[in-house]
Amino acid sequence: MKDTPESRVIDPGLDETIKKLTPEHIERVVQHVLTKENAARLKVYIDTCVHCGLCAEACHTYLSRDCDPDYSPVGKVKNTLWELIKRKGKVDGEFVKMMSRVAFTECAVCRRCSMYCPFGIDIAYLLMIVRRICSLLGVVPQYLQDTTNSHAVTSNQMWVHQDEWIDTLQWQEEEAMSEVKDARIPLEKEGAEVMYSVIAPEPKILAQLLGNMAQIMKVAGIDWTMPATDGWDNSNMAMYSGDFEVMGRVERLHWETAARLKAKKIVMGECGHAFRGAVYDGPRWLGWKFPPIPMVHAIEFYYDILKSGRIKVKEKFKEPVTVQDPCNTVRGRGLGPKLRYVVNELCENFIDVNPRFEHNYCCMAGGGTINCGPPWKRSRMVSNRVKAEQFKATGAHIVITPCHNCHSGIEDVIGFYKLGMHVKFISEIMVEVMDVPDELKP
Amino acid sequence: MPDASNWDWAVEKKTVADLKQLRDKFKGVHEFVVSPDGEKIAAPVVTEENSFTAAINSDTWPEMVELLWYLRFLPDGRLTALVRIDDQWTLMVDGVPWNERFEYAWDPRPCASGSAIGMMIKRDFKYGIAIDDKVWEEGFDGIRDYALSPDGSRAAATVQVAPLAEADIFAFSEGVWSIAVDGKAWDKKYLNTWKPIFSADGSKVAAEIRTDICEYSISVDGNDWNDRFGCVWEPLFRPQNGSVIAPVRKDGFWRLAENGKTIWDGKYNQLWQVKFSPDGSRIAVIASPEYGRWTIAVDNAPWKRIWEDMVLEPHFSPDGKRVAAIVKEVNRWTIAVDGNPWGEQFDMIWDPVFSPCGKHIIAKAERNGRFMIVADGKPVGPQYDALWDPIFSADGTKILLKYIENDKYCRQVVSASDVLG
């Protein structure tokens, strides 16, 4: 195995956990995952791939690392899954550690490579199989595993206690009402049109976003509610750590909470991976082909309330802005045009990125990579030089990031590459520029 | 269940409260709740001084508080709310606060008999349960869920029994979670515990447990089932003999297990929300017999009709012979009875209410923002601005309606034959 700065990163989630592994246990888990959990789809992909390497140019880690073939999608699969298959799972702990590092910290499962594969192979799915094996072996980066543990206990990703959740909403309601009259956060309101769900960083470290939404909902005249029970967090890092049982548990509670409250739809905050977990991976693991209750991402929601005139803009945001297309909502759902409509409605000077829409580069924070924590931050930054170059070329001052992982990841990129830019969520700009009718002014 | 025998089933229609007067009187009026007998309507209200209290019909609780929310009627008609007084939280019952004060208190619930009410509390950085103003002596590092015994004398909760340092995945894997019953934790610790539940006599507690990364099972009073499963869902005690039933996932399929042994060996893609018939002899459960297709399985026989959107919990008729459930297809809701969906669909529908004889079902439904009663699949009577679940009289001859129309809250008793046709 190559000696690289990445291979020397100290992470107890990898270094300590492999000490307990036995060859028999590794082989048993590998065989179980390869033959019991993934047989048909995996076989089709493995049999179809002609090893052409056209996926390489798609990957921001490959491009950012001077086209190192080990960082190409096919290289990552070759070094991990193909070896597992070839050796029939007869690998040692050091190999598991290497494949855990590759699968969790060097691939953001962003699926850009699938678009460049002549056969459309979902290469990220192959890396997710590696993650699943690592999860069952207990070899997962410490901070990502801790996030999954939080999901398992609390159903949210940041160990937010139930009292902290409700208390934060009540505090933010007070804050919102100081800006917009009667901007309540109606808790546990049965039969509301919308259940609004968010991810745990909002109550934990970005509480003002909850207050922002109370203002927006009031001005837009939306009949909405938020749960005062677990089930309010739509995020799902268990999906990315490979703990699908915990993933399913989190998603079930999210949907059952909406059903309990008799909400007609869920509107979710600005997060991309949460959209994937709630709309695709989670429901499917549980047995639904589609989300059981309509799920509307914040980008679509903002589009609707601007397009319909429910929110009017008083004066557009003046600073030059660009945008990050989150992989799971733009490549995964096609919300790129709606995102640009929203940005253009709110901002005077929008400079688009290149490449964009579904061809946009990943932030290299999604897919659970940022949740792998501080030990892997430098690696993430080195793996996303192209993202820094892409933003720098726009000359914008602000990067609008309608996704929490993008928001944090791009903030890191801006700092690491000294771009002198700032990141903002859409809601932060919307509350700044929206027209609050006189009767709603406090 | 509320005791409806003493309610007024004679008066046909009564306007209980003028809600416009209430709105004119206060700076803010929050969501309304109504008493089980329909005689009272209440809401948290905000005064011009930004104090809170509860308004009930034309009265208010005398004490003003800093914050009041989660206003709920108990089955016996008492009105409760979570209140903040001097920056501390407690429960107010009919306007009288508990003596105990907490750093935080939430999720108050009545027991099945309605005689007691419990809630989760935080005090001095420790978490616990309070029932009827009495607090567990021992506090815990964390709490996530709880259950009350049917008579309300006992409580069980998922609790964190040891501190956990930030990102300490190794201590977590050793187990820091357990079940506490009446404030005393089981000896065993687990990675996770979920969904505690009491037996009918209140003597036993069962819960979901997780013992390793992908090893799940059920524990009863800290005695774990021998087998481990790929996943489990919430357990339930069989009413007659106290045995424990739970959905378990084995070899990628869901089955029902009783005391650790498989009793339904059908290969379901999903099984959850197990319900017993009133006499405990029959089992109904939400089931996915194949991927993307949902229905109700009764005694291991799935209904032939399936739905792709969503199927909610099954409800047995009082005699246990019929089963009804809310179902959704193409984002339209209705009710299915013994596998047959009603012909009409709605924007939203509430739980089916069986007549005492079990022959008829009524439910509250919503269409285009208006609410109506649906009887055996047909909308009947007028539409309302707001409506609460209808209730049959014990003999099944009358139905109590509680609704808001033109800013008036009304209680109305109607003849069941008029509604059911």
- Residue B1: band (very low, low, confident or very high) from pLDDT cuts 50, 70, 90: low
A373 contact residues in B (CB cutoff 8 A)? 167
Separation between Cα atoms, residue B178 and residue A142, nearest integer Å: 23
- pLDDT score recorded for residue A357: 97
- The encoded tokens of residue A440 equal 């709603």
Average pLDDT over residues B345-362: 98
Domain boundary among A275, A307, A339: A307
Tell me: do A105 and A226 sit in the same domain: no
Tell me: do A337 and A249 sit in the same domain: no
**DSSP H helical segments within B11-122, as ranges?**
19-25
Gap from B213 CA to chain A (nearest CA, Å) = 6
Relative orientation angle of helices A123-137 and A23-32, to the nearest 10 degrees: 140
Q: Which residue has the tokens 């579904």?
A: A358
Q: Which amino acid is at B404?
A: I
Each residue of B245-277: pLDDT tens digit? 999 999 999 999 999 999 998 889 999 999 999
Q: Regarding beta strands A265-268 and A295-297, do their DSSP bridges make them parallel or antiparallel, or are they unpaired?
A: parallel
Smallest Cβ–Cβ distance between B142 and the set A161, A245, A249 belongs to A161
A12 contact residues in B (CB cutoff 8 A)? 169-170
Check A191 against B328: CB less than 8 A apart.
no
Separation between Cα atoms, residue A372 and residue A380, nearest integer Å: 10
Structural domain contains residue A1: no
Structural domain contains residue A5: no
Q: Do A403 and A324 touch, CB atoms closer than 8 A? A: yes
Provide the 10 A C-beta neighbour count for residue B304: 9
Provide the 10 A C-beta neighbour count for residue A143: 22
Q: What are phi and psi of A299, to 5 degrees?
A: -60, -45
Cis peptide preceding A355, ω within 30 of 0: yes
Tell me: do A229 and A103 sit in the same domain: no
Structural domain contains residue A328: yes
Please tell me which residue of chain B has the smallest CA distance to A284.
Answer: B292
Q: Which amino acid is at A392?
A: K
- The encoded tokens of residue A188 equal 């546990």
Tell me: do A196 and A264 sit in the same domain: yes
Provide the 10 A C-beta neighbour count for residue B339: 17
Q: Do A96 and A83 touch, CB atoms closer than 8 A? A: no
We report the CATH number of the domain holding residue A393 as 3.40.50
Check B172 against A146: CB less than 8 A apart.
yes
Tell me: do A242 and A220 sit in the same domain: yes
Of all residues in chain B, what percent are helix, strand and coil, respectively (each to 5)?
Answer: 5, 55, 40
Check B70 against A187: CB less than 8 A apart.
yes
Tell me: do A255 and A122 sit in the same domain: no
Check B170 against A16: CB less than 8 A apart.
yes
Tell me: do A295 and A367 sit in the same domain: no
What's the pTM value of the predicted model, to 2 decimals?
Answer: 0.97
Separation between Cα atoms, residue A26 and residue B316, nearest integer Å: 47
Separation between Cα atoms, residue A154 and residue A199, nearest integer Å: 12
Q: Do B182 and B192 touch, CB atoms closer than 8 A? A: no
Q: Which amino acid is at B301?
A: A
Please determine, for residue B22, whether its predicted confidence score (pLDDT) is greater than 90: yes
Check B214 against A293: CB less than 8 A apart.
no
Structural domain contains residue A147: no
Higher pLDDT, B421 or A233: A233
Burial of B75 (0-12, 13-18, 19+ CB in 10 A): middle
Separation between Cα atoms, residue A407 and residue A4, nearest integer Å: 28
Gap from B10 CA to chain A (nearest CA, Å) = 30
Please determine, for residue B5, whether its predicted confidence score (pLDDT) is greater than 90: no
Gap from A289 CA to chain B (nearest CA, Å) = 5
Please indicate if any CB of chain A lies within 8 Å of the CB of B192: yes
Tell me: do A328 and A216 sit in the same domain: no
Gap from B108 CA to chain A (nearest CA, Å) = 11
Each residue of B154-190: pLDDT tens digit? 999 999 999 999 999 999 999 999 999 999 999 999 9
Structural domain contains residue A375: yes
- The encoded tokens of residue B348 equal 């939203």
- Alpha carbon A158 to its chain centroid, in Å, reads 15
* First and final C-alpha spacing in chain A: 64
Check B122 against A37: CB less than 8 A apart.
no
Structural domain contains residue A254: yes
Tell me: do A181 and A130 sit in the same domain: no
Cα angle vertex B278, ends B273, B280, to 5°? 75
pLDDT in tens, chain A (442 residues): 678 899 899 999 999 999 999 999 999 999 999 999 988 899 999 999 999 999 999 999 999 999 999 999 999 999 999 999 999 999 999 999 999 999 999 999 999 999 999 999 999 999 999 999 999 999 999 999 999 999 999 999 999 999 999 999 999 999 999 999 999 999 999 999 999 999 999 999 999 999 999 999 999 999 999 999 999 999 999 999 999 999 999 999 999 999 999 999 999 999 999 999 999 999 999 999 999 999 999 999 999 999 999 999 999 999 999 999 999 999 999 999 999 999 999 999 999 999 999 999 999 999 999 999 999 999 999 999 999 999 999 999 999 999 999 999 999 999 999 999 999 999 999 999 999 999 999 9
Structural domain contains residue A88: yes
Tell me: do A246 and A364 sit in the same domain: no
In chain B, the percentage of residues whose pLDDT exceeds 90 is 96
Q: Which amino acid is at B134?
A: K
Q: Which amino acid is at B334?
A: T
**DSSP H helical segments within B157-291, as ranges?**
169-174
B170 contact residues in A (CB cutoff 8 A)? 12, 16
Domain boundary among A119, A140, A161: A140
Looking at chain B from residue 1 to 60, which residues have their Cβ under 8 Å from any Cβ of chain A? 28, 30-31
Check A245 against B216: CB less than 8 A apart.
yes
Kindly list the domain boundaries of chain B, sorted by start residue. 348-421
Tell me: do A21 and A115 sit in the same domain: yes
Check B192 against A145: CB less than 8 A apart.
no
- Residue B11: band (very low, low, confident or very high) from pLDDT cuts 50, 70, 90: confident
Check B173 against A138: CB less than 8 A apart.
yes
Q: Which domain holds residue A175?
A: 153-307
Check B252 against A37: CB less than 8 A apart.
yes
**DSSP H helical segments within B200-349, as ranges?**
none
For the CA atoms of B84, B89, B95, B100, the dihedral, rounded to the nearest 10 degrees, stands at -150
Tell me: do A164 and A301 sit in the same domain: yes
Separation between Cα atoms, residue A244 and residue A135, nearest integer Å: 9
Q: Do B72 and B30 touch, CB atoms closer than 8 A? A: no
- The encoded tokens of residue A360 equal 């946009």
- The encoded tokens of residue B172 equal 């977590």
Smallest Cβ–Cβ distance between A189 and the set B31, B270, B331 belongs to B31
- pLDDT score recorded for residue A1: 66
B272 contact residues in A (CB cutoff 8 A)? 252
Q: Do A436 and A442 touch, CB atoms closer than 8 A? A: no
Please tell me which residue of chain A has the smallest CA distance to B106.
Answer: A163
Domain boundary among A101, A118, A140: A140
Check A187 against B69: CB less than 8 A apart.
yes
Overall number of domains in chain A: 3
Smallest CA-to-CA distance from A360 within A101, A125, A123, A108 is with: A108
Q: Do B162 and B153 touch, CB atoms closer than 8 A? A: no
B291 contact residues in A (CB cutoff 8 A)? 287, 289
